[in-house]
Amino acid sequence: MGFREALDSGKFLITAEIGPVKGTEIDGLLEDAELIKGKVDAINVTDLQSSVMRLGSMAVCHLLKDRVIDPILQMTCRDRNRLALQSDLLSAWVLGIRNVLALTGDHPTLGDHPQAMPVFDLDSVSLLRVIGRLNEGFDMQGNQLKGAPDFFPGAVVNPGADTEAAFEMQIIKMEKKIEAGARFFQTQGIFDLDLFERFIKRIEGFKIPVLGGVILLKSAGMARFMNKNVAGVFVPESLIKEMEETKDKVKTSIEIAARLIKGLKNLCEGVHIMAIGWEKRIPMVLEEAGL
């Protein structure tokens, strides 16, 4: 059962995320994927995450497909203009990729090639619209395609936006993304379920499946770093303390993630697990969460 079918079935969705390496050694990556295969409904493959030049998302998605894992192709607007984006989408389709997550993308200055020209010819909203048009058999100029894809498009939202204006703009943009064709949302990592519940209440009317983001906490230091540097991530002091005081960081990390997943189960349609190097531990998390 693919991701789209899983979603349609109404089951509690589980996706995980893996990041391609900088280089051509893909054994570790595929090993991780094999480990979580069958336990998740799809695996997101990031697109030059943090603007660091690395192996592309499309190739890895294709390899996952070969291993009968349903991939979600993450596609950012940072590096390609509308010609390249459309062309890559068609390429992805013929390589068997069915799910696309449209994102804006980080700015190149944050990565390892800060001199690069930022493209952002389209934004995430217009990219979703383009995907829709391709599905209809047309490019964005209205030219007819010879053979059309049928992508299942998704988008992201940051429920933890830290100011009123930022939060409201997230909601406004989310609405636009739905209008542009997004069929599901994956969110930034959630640590405060109360805050998330408020967000969910706010978007109730949108009637759109949301997969709440779950980041595996590796240490108290990591939590603090994210609080300071990662937009929309807020790890409450109680969790930081828990990580600080534990003797078995891995165990506690898994417990926390499982707890969050249990909580999310009552609030949204699924979870999206960002293990950030701890992909091998995803099965344990799921087990602990009773999934």
Given the rule CB under 8 A, which residues bind other proteins? 77-78, 82, 104-107, 109-110, 118, 120-126, 129, 140, 156-158, 161-163, 165-166, 168-170, 172-173, 176, 179-180, 188, 229, 231-232
Give the residue with the Cβ less far from other proteins, 1 or 172: 172
Residues ≥6 apart with Cβ < 8 Å to 77: 85, 103, 104, 105, 119, 120, 121, 122, 123, 124, 127
Print burial letters for 112-142: b (CB count within 10 Å at least 16), e (below 16): eeeeeeebbebbbbbbbbbbbbbbeeebbee
Which neighbouring-strand residues pair with 154?
A: 101, 184
**Min dist. Cβ of residue 108 to other proteins (A):** 9
**Min dist. Cβ of residue 215 to other proteins (A):** 16
**Min dist. Cβ of residue 34 to other proteins (A):** 32
**Min dist. Cβ of residue 231 to other proteins (A):** 5
Residues ≥6 apart with Cβ < 8 Å to 76: 47, 48, 103, 104, 105, 106
How wide is the angle at C-alpha 193 spanned by C-alphas 265 and 175, nearest 5°?
A: 80
Alpha helix stretches (DSSP H) within the chain:
3-9, 27-36, 57-66, 82-94, 124-136, 164-179, 193-202, 220-229, 237-245, 249-265, 282-289
Give the residue with the Cβ less far from other proteins, 36 or 156: 156
Rounded to an integer, what distance in angstroms lies between the CA atom of residue 59 and that of residue 54? Answer: 11
**Min dist. Cβ of residue 138 to other proteins (A):** 15
Question: Please, are residues 97 and 71 in contact by the beta-carbon 8 Å criterion?
Answer: yes
**Min dist. Cβ of residue 246 to other proteins (A):** 28
Give the residue with the Cβ less far from other proteins, 96 or 114: 114
Q: Cβ of 52: how many Cβ atoms within 10 Å?
A: 15
Give the residue with the Cβ less far from other proteins, 49 or 253: 49
Give the residue with the Cβ less far from other proteins, 78 or 272: 78
| Residue 80, token pair as written in the block | 């390609």
**Min dist. Cβ of residue 166 to other proteins (A):** 5
Give the residue with the Cβ less far from other proteins, 9 or 109: 109
Give the residue with the Cβ less far from other proteins, 49 or 170: 170
